[in-house]
Structure 1
Amino acid sequence: MNPSADTIRCEATLLRPAIPKDASWTFLVLPTAASAKLPTRSMVTVHGLFDGQPFQATLEPDGQGSHWLKVDQALREAAGVAVGDTIPLAFAPVEVEPEPKLPADLRKALAAQPAALASWDDITPVARRDWIHWISSGKKAETRERRIRTACDMLASGKRRACCFDRSGIYSKAFSAPEAAE
């Protein structure tokens, strides 16, 4: 990453999630002032430096008007940091959002409905990411299956966005940062 005028700089404390207790990943919540400089309150992919180590990740809204970053074990080890450390960050939104990973069950359902697949192929990566998040945010298998059927029906009818989806997490429980372990 080459620093520019768009580069957001801040520090945040590295935390361990309370659940699952044996998680190999950690996380941090961006300061509200740093998050406010992002172009959206919803998910946004950034690239930058995590304590000097290059990274690219999708920040998720924390439901409180800020964003949080999931830090995998490899990045944490490369940076040589531990839970409780204050981490310097420098990042900026990517110019082009990456294509989200399509879950196998959704791929199969789309393949079975050519009109839904055609709409899927015509929407943006951000819209595809929203559909995937809406589908996967259901807690029960039955909810996920129903949402896949509903999504395919809506896409087949030409609908381009998941309806009634609070992308910021402020008005619903769709997004939130993990609870930190004590």
Structure 2
Amino acid sequence: MTTIAAKSRFVAKLLRPAKPGDDASWAFVVLPREASEQLPRRGRTSVEGTINGQPFQATLEPDGQLSHWLQVNSALLEAAGAAVGDVVTLELTPVKKEPEPDIPADLQQALASAAEARKVWNSTTTLARVDWIHWITSAKQLKTRAKRISDACDMLASGKKQVCCFDSSGYYSKALRAPEAENS
């Protein structure tokens, strides 16, 4: 995907997630809507940028409010000299070409055993594959994920190149959102 290089510069507070999962060392930033509007899409979007001058590449996640959020790992926090609660300066530019997404093992296995689905998968765009994977991995239960993989193979085998039932921004479905911030 080729995009125009619209650089956004803004300040934001580093937030600690209320439910960080197994790794409590990360933080996140919710982009101001104006910065998000400079991006090429409301769904997952890859960017190059800096945080307090420290360069990074990342994939922004949709926040369900027509904006995005950025996960900041502990290594980037340290390199940027930043900590949870700090206000940091970010500069973001959409990547010139969206990187090919990592295909989850369970989807790889399903596509390997469904030749027609794999053929259509291989002929889709990178962004379509990003959306297929996002739809599958956003399932909250393993049972739902397994059904989505099966449905994806069926849809692909029938020639559908884009997932038809997924709001990649989360805005209309309210299915996607930024993490809840820990009360400070």
TM range (shorter): over 0.9
In structure 2, the residue matched to 1:120 is: 121
Residues 1:19 and 2:19 are matched in the alignment: yes
SS at match of 2:47: strand
SS at match of 1:147: helix
- Measure the CA separation in 2 of the matches of 1:5 and 1:139: 34
- Measure the CA separation in 1 of the matches of 2:103 and 2:5: 34
In structure 2, the residue matched to 1:178 is: 179
- Measure the CA separation in 2 of the matches of 1:42 and 1:142: 24
In structure 1, the residue matched to 2:144 is: 143
Q: Would the alpha carbon gap of residues 81 and 149 (structure 1) be closer, same or farther in structure 2, given more than 3 Å must change?
A: same
Q: Could you give the per-residue CA deviations for residues 109-155 of structure 1, whole angstroms, max 9, x where no partner exists? A: 00001111111111111111111111111111111111111100111
The range that moved more, 31-40 or 67-76, is 31-40
- Measure the CA separation in 2 of the matches of 1:130 and 1:159: 13
Kept in 1: contact 2:5–2:96 (CA 8 A): no
Percent identity at matched positions? 59
Which amino acid is the alignment partner of residue 48 of structure 2?
H
Kept in 1: contact 2:17–2:179 (CA 8 A): yes
SS at match of 2:97: coil
In structure 2, the residue matched to 1:105 is: 106
TM-score, normalization by structure 2 = 0.92
- Measure the CA separation in 1 of the matches of 2:25 and 2:6: 32
SS at match of 1:12: strand
TM-score, normalization by structure 1 = 0.93
Write out the 4+ residue segments of structure 1 that deviate beyond 4 Å after TM superposition.
none
Which amino acid is the alignment partner of residue 16 of structure 1?
R
SS at match of 2:89: strand
Q: Would the alpha carbon gap of residues 110 and 5 (structure 1) be closer, same or farther in structure 2, given more than 3 Å must change?
A: closer
User: How many residues end up aligned between the 2 structures?
Assistant: 179
Which amino acid is the alignment partner of residue 56 of structure 1?
Q
In structure 2, the residue matched to 1:28 is: 29
In structure 2, the residue matched to 1:6 is: 6
SS at match of 2:55: strand
Q: Which runs of 5+ in 1 are unaligned?
A: none
- Measure the CA separation in 2 of the matches of 1:176 and 1:75: 22
- Measure the CA separation in 2 of the matches of 1:42 and 1:103: 19
The range that moved more, 132-141 or 21-30, is 21-30
Kept in 1: contact 2:15–2:27 (CA 8 A): yes
Name the Cα RMSD after superposition. Answer: 1.5
Kept in 1: contact 2:7–2:38 (CA 8 A): no
In structure 2, the residue matched to 1:74 is: 75
In structure 1, the residue matched to 2:59 is: 58
Instruction: Report deviation, 1:6.
Output: 2.4
Instruction: Report deviation, 1:5.
Output: 6.9
Residues 1:133 and 2:141 are matched in the alignment: no
SS at match of 1:145: helix
